[in-house]
Amino acid sequence: MATQIFTNISLLANTQGHSGFVRGDKLASLTSIKDAYIIIEDETIAEMDVMENFRFSKGNFSVPENTIVMPCWCDSHTHIVFAGSREEEFIDKIKGLSYAEIAAKGGGILNSAKILNATPEDELFNAAWKRLEEVSKLGTGAIEIKSGYGLSVEGELKMLRVIKKLKEKSRLKIKSTFLGAHTFPLEYKENHAKYIDLIIHEMLPVIEREELADYIDVFCEKGFFSAEEMKIICEAGKNHALKPKLHVNQLNSIGGIQTGISLDALSLDHLETLTENEMELLGKYKGASTLLPSAAFFLRMPLQPARTLINAGAAVTLASDYNPGSSPSGNMNFIISLACIQMKMLPEEAINAATINGACAMEIESDYGSISIGKKANLIFTKPVPSLAYLPYSFGNNLIDKVMIDGTFI
């Protein structure tokens, strides 16, 4: 058995053993050990304590002074399988066009779908693999990936097969979500029922048979899928063993939250546009309220009301939404900074939201999301920093020295 011992760690951050969503006041307390050591056996965290109790004489590696060790980010909402890029729309937006106007012009998601359908599977795999490498160097150790740029039977299945291969080959923990209901392809704009039929009868059975997805997602939004359409699709998904994990209330409030809760969704994501009543509902809802601040930032929208949601008791979770249209970055360190700077989350709250709550939003909290005995050794070793708060404070700077995935430095 390979044993690794690291000593003189200034702070071992987020060492909670309990593994459900952290909510309300508790989000601000990040269980930690000051002046600590940690022992890793193979892939697993075996022991940790204060240096005072350290009894081993050899085989240990003293980390540089002022190193913080924390769990890797658990990014529970991304779209990293995509082809091409959309910086032309970025320029259009600078010039004043809105996200909805760009989508109405055949841009947006449809633009990405056109390129993706023309891209071979191995090219898609290679591009997504590079993105996984990039985000893992930035500290992401577990990630959810959605389809949704295929929008045809072959395109959606191709994307999901790429995600399946990423799952098999990558050391990162990956969860797969089917998002065939990302938008209506042009030919079904006037015939929603026909596209929904395609999803239910042509895509879902193959997805179940080939075990291509863990979850089902729908973009519930004006001009995209209504709450009623989302309900039909998710109920069909449930018959194929897929739990809902949904895009709701990004641009408009059209009943996505109420329907999502009634569907017992694992997470409700985006939440830029919320009524008072919806915030109260999220406070009582048992799944994740996943905030994607970089999408709001990139689209120049007001950021999500994190404080009100935390006060209401919601299971606030943070994710990157890495995608070519609304968040062309998967840097979770920047997400943490945005959460603290623009949404007034405390550093401890942001870290809980992006680690243990992210793990819960992917149902992998028994192995990931905190530094706890028996969990996987997925760890970020920082460069020398004076405190935990320095991480979000020093935004845009890369303060990660090393990242360990399942006991191995990448």
Interface ranges with Fe ion (CB under 5 A): 321
Q: What is the DSSP code (8-state) at residue 159?
A: H
Query: In terms of CB distance, is 16 or 323 closer to ligand NIG?
Result: 323
- CB of 14 vs Fe ion, minimal distance in Å: 25
The reply to whether 112 sits near ligand NIG by the rule CB under 6 A is yes
- CB of 270 vs ligand NIG, minimal distance in Å: 7
By CB under 6 A, which span of 90-98, 104-112, 184-192, 312-320 interacts with ligand NIG?
104-112
175's contact among ligand NIG, Fe ion, none, with CB below 5 to 8 A by partner kind, is: none
Alpha-carbon span 54 to 159, nearest angstrom: 48
Closest residue to ligand NIG in the complex (CB) = 325
Alpha-carbon span 182 to 168, nearest angstrom: 25
Query: In terms of CB distance, is 89 or 406 closer to ligand NIG?
Result: 89
The reply to whether 155 sits near ligand NIG by the rule CB under 6 A is no
CA-wise closest residue to 112 among 300, 272, 326: 326
- Residues listed for the chain: 410
The reply to whether 139 sits near ligand NIG by the rule CB under 6 A is no
Whether 327 and 295 have beta carbons less than 8 Å apart is answered as yes
Residues within window 233-272 making contact with ligand NIG, judged by CB under 6 A? 247, 250
Query: In terms of CB distance, is 293 or 313 closer to ligand NIG?
Result: 293
Residue 35 carries which side chain, given as an amino acid letter? D
The reply to whether 318 sits near ligand NIG by the rule CB under 6 A is no
250's contact among ligand NIG, Fe ion, none, with CB below 5 to 8 A by partner kind, is: ligand NIG
Alpha-carbon span 109 to 237, nearest angstrom: 22
The torsion of the CA quartet 322, 324, 328, 332, rounded to 10 degrees, works out to 0
Q: Alpha carbon of 135 to those of 4, 6, 77, 197: distances in Å?
A: 24, 24, 13, 36
How many amino acids of this chain bind ligand NIG (CB under 6 A)?
12
Query: In terms of CB distance, is 13 or 81 closer to Fe ion?
Result: 81
Among 214, 321, 348, 349, contact with ligand NIG (rule: CB under 6 A): 321
Whether 270 and 252 have beta carbons less than 8 Å apart is answered as no
- CB of 405 vs ligand NIG, minimal distance in Å: 26
Whether 372 and 15 have beta carbons less than 8 Å apart is answered as yes
By CB under 6 A, which span of 46-54, 300-308, 318-326, 361-369 interacts with ligand NIG?
318-326
* Phi, psi (rounded to 5 degrees) for 265: -65, 145
CA-wise closest residue to 207 among 246, 158, 143, 174: 158
- CB of 79 vs ligand NIG, minimal distance in Å: 6
By CB under 6 A, which span of 321-329, 330-338, 364-372, 373-381 interacts with ligand NIG?
321-329
